[in-house]
Every structure is written in structure tokens, then in C-alpha cells.
Amino acid sequence: MHSIPSHIVLGLALTVLFTGCASVSVTGSQFPPAPSKLMTPPQIFITPFTFAPSSLRVDREGESLRTFENGVSKQMADRLAQRLTKYIAPASVLTVGSQNPVTDSWIVEGEFTRINQGSRALRSIVGFGAGSTKMESTTKVFRVGPSNKREFIALIKTSGGSNAEPGALVGGVFGAGPRGILRAATSGVSADSRRTAREITATLSERLAADGAALPEPSLRPKRPREAPPAQASTALP
């Protein structure tokens, strides 16, 4: 087996370093206009995330693909429920037979608009964004009013993927230690869903804190690309 010339490896690493995505961030958000304020809900209910047409770029098909979809959807909802429970209010995933949401509770609906599985091998061997994952989502939040009528209160869009860390082939100052290689190898869709849940929760936490709502934990601040401005108010449904 022929080794890859070091100058080629370094060139590839530097190229993907500046094109790879380092984390998940909030690319857009909307809330009702002032003077409307958000208040901490008594409960939050999350529906399993769905998938937009042609959103999946993964190495699966048939039953394996369906299993993958179900797993990612459930994992996202579960992680979001854990985050929301800690930082905002008790949250649970809506399933068949779940209790009906009470008045003033929230319902969270999400859709994956893009999931690129990437290559775990490239992430661990080359790194710097090579083989990186990509996850994009759109989340809508509704308040339950009288007669179970839903009122739109938030729209949050996120985008990001695996960290641009060095892989095993790059030596010298760009070298990756065992922990770095392990992080690159294990990073993927699962890590992206965790980061996405964090950013969705942070966006809601930030807005609630700005509106003076009581929170169980200090408010969070979401990541935004190049420190984009906070959420814009919107009078229209998304």
C-alpha cells in the first residue's frame, strides 16, 4: 500500500479546515412582536422530528434507512426533552396515548431539512472537516390556547456539523493526539443532535429571560454565525 505524500495530506487538511463546519449554530429565529412576551409554560410536549423530502444523505436504504430515521428522530426528541426540562420547564415526548396538552403548555414540532452522515473514517484519519457531518433543522413552537387552539410563538432554524479537528495522518503542529482522533471518529449525527437540542433550548431560554420569565437555571445564549443579531419579531405564521 502506497503512503500519501505529506504535502498532499497537508494541503487537503488546510483546504477543508477553512470549509468545514465547527459546530451547530442558530441561523434564524422568529418570535411574536412586542409587546407580546413569552412566559414559562407549565409543560412542554415534543413531537418526534420529521424529515423533509430528500433531506437524508446517508449510506442506508430500505429497512436500515427506516431504522436510522426512527432512531435519529427519537434521539433528537429525547435530548430536547432533557434540555428543556432542565432549563425551561418539564418536557416530554408526545406518543400515542399521551395526555392532552393543557392550556398554556407548549408543543414543539421539528423537521430535519438536511442530514449528511459524512464519513467517520475520513473524520478520524484526515480530519479538519474531511468527511464532516451536516445537520440542519427547522423547529416550530406553539402555545396551547382554549379549546386546544395552537398559537405560534417561535421558529428556530439551526445548521452545523462535526468539528474541524485534525486526524491521524496530519503530523507536526497539526497532529492529533489519541483523544482528538477518538473525538473525530465518534463525532457524527448523534453529536449533531445533541448540539442542535442545545441551540434550540438556548434560543428559547434567551428569549424567555429577555421577557422577564422565571427560569429554573441561568439563561443560555445560543451560538449564531458571526454574532448574527438576536431573533426578529414576526407577525405571520412561518
pLDDT of residue 100: 75
Contact 58, 117 (CB under 8 A): yes
Phi then psi for residue 22, to 5 deg, are -90, -25
- Stronger pLDDT, 221 or 16, i.e. the higher one: 221
Of 224, 225, 220, 188, whose CA–CA distance to 83 is shortest? Answer: 220
**How many Å apart are CA 61 and CA 130, to the nearest integer?**
24
pLDDT in tens, 47-86: 999 999 888 887 777 888 888 889 899 999 999 999 999 9
pLDDT-derived band at 131, boundaries 50, 70, 90: low
pLDDT of residue 125: 42
- Domains of the chain, by residue range, sit at 26-233
Task: Answer whether residue 224 shows pLDDT above 50.
Answer: yes
Mean pLDDT of all residues in the chain?
77
- Stronger pLDDT, 96 or 146, i.e. the higher one: 146
Vertex 136: Cα angle to 130 and 139 (nearest 5): 160
pLDDT-derived band at 34, boundaries 50, 70, 90: confident
The alpha carbon of 26 is separated from its chain's Cα centroid by a whole number of angstroms, namely 9
Task: Answer whether residue 238 shows pLDDT above 60.
Answer: no
Task: Answer whether residue 40 shows pLDDT above 50.
Answer: yes
**How many Å apart are CA 61 and CA 64, to the nearest integer?**
6
**How many Å apart are CA 133 and CA 107, to the nearest integer?**
28
- Stronger pLDDT, 118 or 122, i.e. the higher one: 118
Contact 158, 127 (CB under 8 A): no
Task: Answer whether residue 221 shows pLDDT above 80.
Answer: yes
Of 52, 56, 73, whose CA–CA distance to 190 is shortest? Answer: 73
Lowest average pLDDT, out of 11-15, 51-55, 200-204, goes to 11-15
pLDDT-derived band at 232, boundaries 50, 70, 90: low
Q: State the DSSP H helix or E strand holding residue 31, giving kind and residue range, or none if neither.
A: strand 24-31
What does the pLDDT average to over 147-159?
93
